[in-house]
Structure 1
Amino acid sequence: MKKFVLPLLILFMSGLYIFCIPENPTPLKVTFKLIPMVLIIIYAFQFCNTKAKPTQWIILSGLFICMLGDGLIAGSFIFGLAAFLVGHLFYLFGFIRVWKFSKPRFAMFILILGYSFLISNELVNAIAENGNSKLVIPVIAYVIVISLMAWSAIMTGNKWAIGGSILFVLSDSILSWNMFVSNVPQSSLLIMSTYYTAQFLIAHSLGSLLNNSSK
């Protein structure tokens, strides 16, 4: 039963933030937004014992940097975006270290590339129309990095990493579409529920990601 206590606490605090915490005051909102991520990092840390591998520490660092992004984005979209981009780079490098080549998984690059092109095209057009052209390059860079992150997770063959990365892409797709293209019904619920689930799955992947690997 003890092993379920922390996941249940993560679920409870995530639900509390999503459904109960008001938009204002902002410090209260940000504090409760960060609590589930702190718990997720603690959960991930359980898999990093005294003989933890570098890959585990790399991905754990990615979780921490994404948590910083959660706080920064409340004050500055660009700073928050930059933090998440760096976090995805850590995930990308971590997943690449345990890459397991497979032709079917390798071919998923085509689907990811197609999706990335379609959504980035819509975002860039919307951003340009709204007169925010300075955001075009950062957004394109972010789409490229998160797409590579998702592909690298798929190439690990680990179901938890794959599920987490795909949900992360979905969460950010909803967020960016809602922000730049058009309103998405229940956007906050969809964004945060997929986001917390994505981070939890990536954290959980540390328990099996390195099976039969010394990296």
Structure 2
Amino acid sequence: MKRLFLPLLILISSALYIFIIPDAPLLLNLPFKLIPMWLIITYAFIQFRGKGSSTSWIILTGLVFCMFGDGLLHWFLIGLSAFLIGHIFYLIGFFKEWQFSLIRVLSIIPIGFYAIFIGHILTESLIENGNSALFIPVCLYTIIISTMAWSAIMTGNKWAITGSILFVISDSILAWNRFVSDIPYSSVLIMTTYYTAQFFIARSLKFFQKGSNSLY
């Protein structure tokens, strides 16, 4: 039961923020938005109990930067920059756990096609709507998060893989809704996939310690 207490608390706090807490005022909304991430970071730390490998600490640092990105996303470029740094820590940590497999290496093909597809649509929309200043940051972010997803796949760790793919889905919905066209229930879709992604990435640390739980 003790093992389930923190995940259950993460689930409850996430649901509270997504379905109950109003968007405004920001001073009320923001703390409730960050509580699930504080709990997820605590959960990640518990996975290796402070005695983990360098990979564990690198990914934990990524979680912290993503938390800052979450809190600062109201100021879009600042929040995007924090998320970008978080993803760089993730991909460094994941690449340290590289487990070669031809199938995993070839996964870069669909990831690359998706990155080109979503990047093309987003940048085209940015230019059409006069947001050309965001062209380079959005392109860079698309490249980094796609590389992060591929690096997670290269670990063979099913928790890291699922978490990274959910992160890509969450950010794709956010970007499409913000720059291309409205998506029904976008806020619910973005935050449920986002919190789940971060929880799975935090969960992956336990298995990086053991060098087990590969997907293939």
Q: What TM-score do the two structures reach when normalised by structure 2?
A: 0.96
- The CA distance in 1 between the partners of 2:51 and 2:62, in whole Å, is 19
- Per the alignment, residue 207 of structure 1 pairs with 206
- Per the alignment, residue 170 of structure 1 pairs with 169
Structure 2 counterpart SS, 1:208: helix
The Cα offsets for residues 163-189 of structure 1, whole Å up to 9 and x where unpaired, read as 000000000000000000000010000
Shift of 1:211: 2.4
- The CA distance in 1 between the partners of 2:40 and 2:56, in whole Å, is 14
Q: Say if 1:178 and 1:93 are closer, same or farther in 2 by CA, change over 3 A.
A: same
Gaps of 5+ in 2: none
Shift of 1:87: 0.1
Which amino acid in 1 is paired with 2:182?
A: N
- Per the alignment, residue 95 of structure 2 pairs with 96
Which amino acid in 1 is paired with 2:39?
A: L
Does 2:34 correspond to 1:34? yes
The Cα offsets for residues 32-85 of structure 1, whole Å up to 9 and x where unpaired, read as 0000000000000002335311100000000000000011112x1000000000
The range that moved more, 148-157 or 202-211, is: 202-211
How many residues align? The count is 212
Contact 2:52 2:209 in 1 (8 A): no
Percent identity over paired residues: 59
Shift of 1:121: 0.2
Runs of 4+ displaced beyond 3 Å: none
Q: What TM-score do the two structures reach when normalised by structure 1?
A: 0.97
Structure 1 counterpart SS, 2:196: helix
Which amino acid in 1 is paired with 2:66?
A: C
1:14-93 equivalences in 2 (<5 Å):
14-74=14-74, 76-93=75-92
The Cα offsets for residues 69-113 of structure 1, whole Å up to 9 and x where unpaired, read as 011112x10000000000000000000000001000100000000
Contact 2:10 2:39 in 1 (8 A): yes
The Cα offsets for residues 133-153 of structure 1, whole Å up to 9 and x where unpaired, read as 000000000000000000000
RMSD value over aligned CA atoms?
A: 0.9
- Per the alignment, residue 134 of structure 2 pairs with 135
Contact 1:98 1:210 in 2 (8 A): no
- The CA distance in 2 between the partners of 1:113 and 1:181, in whole Å, is 20
- The CA distance in 2 between the partners of 1:107 and 1:177, in whole Å, is 27
Contact 2:163 2:200 in 1 (8 A): yes
- Per the alignment, residue 117 of structure 1 pairs with 116
1:175-186 equivalences in 2 (<5 Å):
175-186=174-185
